[in-house]
Structure 1
Amino acid sequence: MDRFTIPRDLYYGRGALSRLKQLNGSRAMLVCGAAARQSGFLRRAEGFLQEAGMLVRPFVCTPGGPTLALALTGAKAMQEFKPGWIVALGGEESISAAKAMWAFYEDPGLTPRAFLEEGRLPLLRRQARMAAAPAGGGGEAALGGAAFLLDPAQGRRHLLRHPVLAPDMAIIDPDLAAPCSGTILARGGMAALSQALEAMFHGQASLAYPLALHAACVIFDKLQPAAGGDVAARTMLHEGQCMAGLAFSNAPAGLCTAMAAELCVAFYKPLPTGIAEAVCLPLTLSRDPGAKNAAARICASLGYPGECLEALRSRIILLRGGLDMPESLQAFGIEEAEFLSKLPDLCKRLSHTSILPKNRCPTPKEAEELFRQAYYGS
């Protein structure tokens, strides 16, 4: 039996952030990144929550991704403040961090090992509920029951996937994505495209499939004009990315996600997730089961001519180039000596990744071929 879980309430459209003033509660913790503070959206969200009669405490995430240390620090702040609502505002990093903070807040005795390696989750919503408002740049990916957490000390990027991690409320307000630069939109859009395609590859019989198909078509059609500043395209892209995130959290992850996870840990800080996924996605298409059928549906919907899988691969490469994104890790600027020194460990980790079922993990030799293609270009 399968399960399909999304936030109970989704509010979307311009001005949807104002829905925060209708929440019931006495205290709210606002988790966001520096960009939300600089753009003024933190102040707006804080004002709406205060209109609801709440005492509000902001928690601004430090740069460097949603790390285990950040999650534990945030959970400690929550245990002191005792919020009844956790409101995550911003990109995937802020929303993922807020979800991890939420888990450690609900169960102070939860250990990182139990949470990250054993998959143990506390009974959530005993102390707080969660609302999430993505602000472009990949935050849409965390609207469902998915999140990721970095543990640089262990060299791990954990993908957390469980229905209970889906927020109680999602706010999809295109105004939040308006300040995003074209570069940030491009990276978030390519990551969302990867998520939509993987949901199609592995969820042909699931409720996630139509969401993923529509999301992929929207991203192919609207990402480039949105990155160029087209306001209408940005609105449609924001909603399409949210659909991709909801589909991704309700379908198995694929090889592109697994490769990007290992690369983003190996080259921690310099390599954004969107760049890693944009490089890896064309390389992994032919290796994912279900890709051919998914490619046929997308090509039929968008009118792409030619053999479907190759046509889809060509369109991904064309879109990536149109967004001025690097075609390889070498073109991104990672030094060859550093790459080669980390290659053996990358291959070992990918061949044993917990993101994929064991029967779909590449062998060390296959992993080396993939990583070399990602570095030097296919």
Structure 2
Amino acid sequence: MTISTFALPRTIIYGENSLDHLARLTGKRAALVTGGSSMKRLGFLARARELLEQAGFECLIIDNVEPNPSVATVRRGAGAMLQFQPDWIVAIGGGSAIDAAKVMWCFYEHPHLDFADIIPVGSMPPLRNKARFVAIPSTSGSGSEITAFSVITDTEKHIKYPIVAADMVPDIAILDPRLPAAMPAAVTAHTGMDVLTHALEAYVSTAATSFTDPYAVEAIQLVFENLETAYLQPANISARYNMHNASALAGIAFTNASLGLVHSMAHKIGGEFGITHGLANAIMLPYIIQYNSLFTDKYRRLEKRLGIGSLISAINDLNRRLNIPRTLKDCHEVELDESKFNTVLDRMSGNAFADPCTLTNPGKPTVADVKSLYQHVYYGD
């Protein structure tokens, strides 16, 4: 029997108005990392700064983290931190802002490193030499606020790299359901399906255990019970609370059990075309479940536990109610031209096969299998 490990995140503070916990931090300087404009426009960034200043902090804002954060962005942020010398890093926003802040943190503490140095799993040097980290998610999706994962895009190679390091788990995660209540419906749908994908992939992962399964199953059930309500009734705090908690629970599951082929393929098509990560996951998920069902009986056991006849049908129905297309060719969020898709297909398939998430997929695909799956997802065969 192999020896496994299971680690819980450090501190989770959750519930309405939990953002106010920022006023209880102690320190001198805080770097606030955020994305485009939503946290500014909705007043949450200003509120976070106000709370930190109440606690005696001098604050620096590092903004404009793009939806697929790049190596250049994390280098820019790390450079600003090196000048400012924060003792707390506070990431507020979607998963992209949190992911970027994690790697900014790494380069702030270890400026001599190149990005290539931290790509191999286990290569991240120790953190918390200069600063500690707070993550405040504005979406119920990535789970980055309590995971050891970050996804950064190399824009020159058109590849998304999952960076994995136990030290990147934030010191404090603040789950305030008021933040996702302000998100647009499409963001709610896509990030919510990201939660479901995290939980399902962790559940069937070859590294899943009796420690990780309860978190995954609870997250799956919460998504099926609450995502559509959060999508249709954005101000429903109960649904938002449950989805925000589901995101963290799924994060606990997958940071311990890892993920699978859905994420491997979504990382690479996201790097090539810029499609939103959660949307790519949602479209691909039913097809990969069908493939993986050849290699595991855990989907069948989950169907029995949830009292549903077909998991694939349930996901397709949920996608339809969330206005998510069934195929990549029907996705109009970005230009997914057929000729370009076929041009990059071989490269994309090889890169997805080499993604670390493929290692714990229940089926053991070849590059040819991955290519075939991409084609099925594109055309809907």
- TM bracket, shorter-chain basis: over 0.9
Residue 319 of structure 2 aligns with which residue? Answer: 320
Moved more, 45-54 or 59-68: 59-68
3-state SS, counterpart of residue 133 of structure 1: strand
**Does the CA contact (< 8 Å) of 2:65 and 2:97 recur in 1?**
no
Residue 17 of structure 1 aligns with which residue? Answer: 19
Q: Which amino acid aligns with 2:314?
A: R
3-state SS, counterpart of residue 45 of structure 2: helix
Q: Which amino acid aligns with 1:29?
A: A
Q: What is the CA distance between 1:369 and its match in structure 2? A: 1.1
Question: Scaled by the length of structure 2, what TM-score is found?
Answer: 0.92
Q: What is the CA distance between 1:138 and its match in structure 2? A: 2.5
Distance 1:291 1:88, change over 3 A: farther
Distance 1:264 1:62, change over 3 A: same
2:72 and 2:227 mapped to 1: Cα distance? Answer: 34
Distance 1:337 1:131, change over 3 A: same
Match runs of 1:272-283 below 5 Å: 272-283=276-287
Q: Which 5+ residue runs of structure 1 have no aligned equivalent?
A: 306-310
**Does the CA contact (< 8 Å) of 1:254 and 1:288 recur in 2?**
no
2:295 and 2:195 mapped to 1: Cα distance? Answer: 16
Is 1:3 matched up with 2:2?
Answer: no
Residue 292 of structure 2 aligns with which residue? Answer: 288
Q: Percent identity?
A: 32
Q: Which amino acid aligns with 1:24?
A: T
Distance 1:195 1:64, change over 3 A: closer
Q: Which 5+ residue runs of structure 2 have no aligned equivalent?
A: none
**Does the CA contact (< 8 Å) of 2:121 and 2:165 recur in 1?**
no
Residue 331 of structure 2 aligns with which residue? Answer: 332
**Per-residue deviation, residues 222-270 of structure 1 (Å, max 9, x unmatched):** 11111001332122111111211221111122011111111101112xx
Distance 1:181 1:358, change over 3 A: closer
Match runs of 1:37-76 below 5 Å: 37-76=40-79
Moved more, 208-217 or 224-233: 224-233
Is 1:216 matched up with 2:215?
Answer: no
Is 1:35 matched up with 2:27?
Answer: no
**Per-residue deviation, residues 137-158 of structure 1 (Å, max 9, x unmatched):** 5343442111111111122111
Q: What is the CA distance between 1:119 and its match in structure 2? A: 4.8
Question: Scaled by the length of structure 1, what TM-score is found?
Answer: 0.93
Q: Which amino acid aligns with 1:237?
A: M
Q: Which amino acid aligns with 1:223?
A: L
**Does the CA contact (< 8 Å) of 2:70 and 2:152 recur in 1?**
yes
Residue 241 of structure 1 aligns with which residue? Answer: 247
Residue 308 of structure 1 aligns with which residue? Answer: none
Moved more, 20-29 or 230-239: 230-239
Is 1:184 matched up with 2:187?
Answer: yes
2:154 and 2:263 mapped to 1: Cα distance? Answer: 17
Paired residues, number? 371
**Does the CA contact (< 8 Å) of 1:201 and 1:290 recur in 2?**
no
Is 1:149 matched up with 2:148?
Answer: no
What is the aligned counterpart of 1:87 among 85, 90, 96? 90
Q: Which amino acid aligns with 1:18?
A: D
Distance 1:297 1:50, change over 3 A: farther
3-state SS, counterpart of residue 179 of structure 2: helix
Residue 107 of structure 1 aligns with which residue? Answer: 110
**Per-residue deviation, residues 115-168 of structure 1 (Å, max 9, x unmatched):** 124752121001000010111153434421111111111221111222211000
**Per-residue deviation, residues 144-202 of structure 1 (Å, max 9, x unmatched):** 11111111112211112222110001101101111011110100011110100011102
1:70 and 1:355 mapped to 2: Cα distance? Answer: 24
Moved more, 40-49 or 365-374: 365-374
Moved more, 56-65 or 8-17: 56-65
Q: Which amino acid aligns with 1:253?
A: L
3-state SS, counterpart of residue 63 of structure 1: coil
Q: What is the CA distance between 1:356 and its match in structure 2? A: 2.2
Moved more, 9-18 or 280-289: 280-289
**Does the CA contact (< 8 Å) of 2:260 and 2:360 recur in 1?**
no
Q: Which amino acid aligns with 2:270?
A: C
Q: Which amino acid aligns with 1:284?
A: I
Distance 1:162 1:288, change over 3 A: farther
2:293 and 2:161 mapped to 1: Cα distance? Answer: 23
Q: Which amino acid aligns with 1:110?
A: L
**Does the CA contact (< 8 Å) of 2:290 and 2:312 recur in 1?**
no
3-state SS, counterpart of residue 209 of structure 2: coil
Residue 347 of structure 1 aligns with which residue? Answer: 349
Match runs of 1:139-178 below 5 Å: 139-178=142-181
Q: Which amino acid aligns with 1:32?
A: T
3-state SS, counterpart of residue 355 of structure 1: helix
3-state SS, counterpart of residue 11 of structure 1: strand
**Does the CA contact (< 8 Å) of 1:6 and 1:246 recur in 2?**
yes
Q: What is the CA distance between 1:347 and its match in structure 2? A: 2.1
